[in-house]
């Protein structure tokens, strides 16, 4: 099963490491530094030019990738729960 992150981006649910809310996590200087370093190293993918509401860390081709999504973390989490209920 796949999780739609916004625009035309989907990620296999089994590859997702974590889904995080931007507003809540940006209070931590560690998170800010982590995202800044990841972006400098080319691990961050902006899905859209709109404001990101969440970020998703996934393993893509055996490499960590961070997706900045315009969809809220609660909506993304609900989408993953729906998949598990259907199984």
**Sign, Cα dihedral of 37, 42, 48, 54:** negative
Instruction: Give the containing element (helix H, strand E) for 84.
Output: helix 73-86
pLDDT in single tens digits along all 87 residues of the chain: 899 999 999 999 999 999 999 999 888 999 999 999 999 999 999 998 999 999 999 998 889 999 999 999 999 999 888 655 555
What global pTM score does this model have?
0.87
- β partners of residue 53: none
Report the relative pairing of strands 54-60 and 63-69 from DSSP bridges.
antiparallel
Find out whether 83 and 41 touch, Cβ atoms under 8 Å.
Answer: no
Token output for 13: 């649910």
Find out whether 68 and 47 touch, Cβ atoms under 8 Å.
Answer: yes
């Amino acid at each position: 099963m796949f999780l739609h992150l916004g625009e035309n981006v989907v990620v296999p649910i089994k590859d997702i490491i974590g889904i995080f809310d931007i507003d809540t996590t940006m209070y931590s200087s560690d998170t800010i530094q982590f995202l800044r370093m990841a972006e400098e190293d080319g691990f961050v993918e902006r899905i859209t030019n709109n404001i990101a509401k969440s970020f998703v860390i996934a393993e893509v081709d055996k490499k960590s990738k961070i997706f900045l999504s315009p969809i809220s973390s609660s909506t993304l989490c609900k989408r993953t729960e729906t998949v598990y209920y259907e199984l």
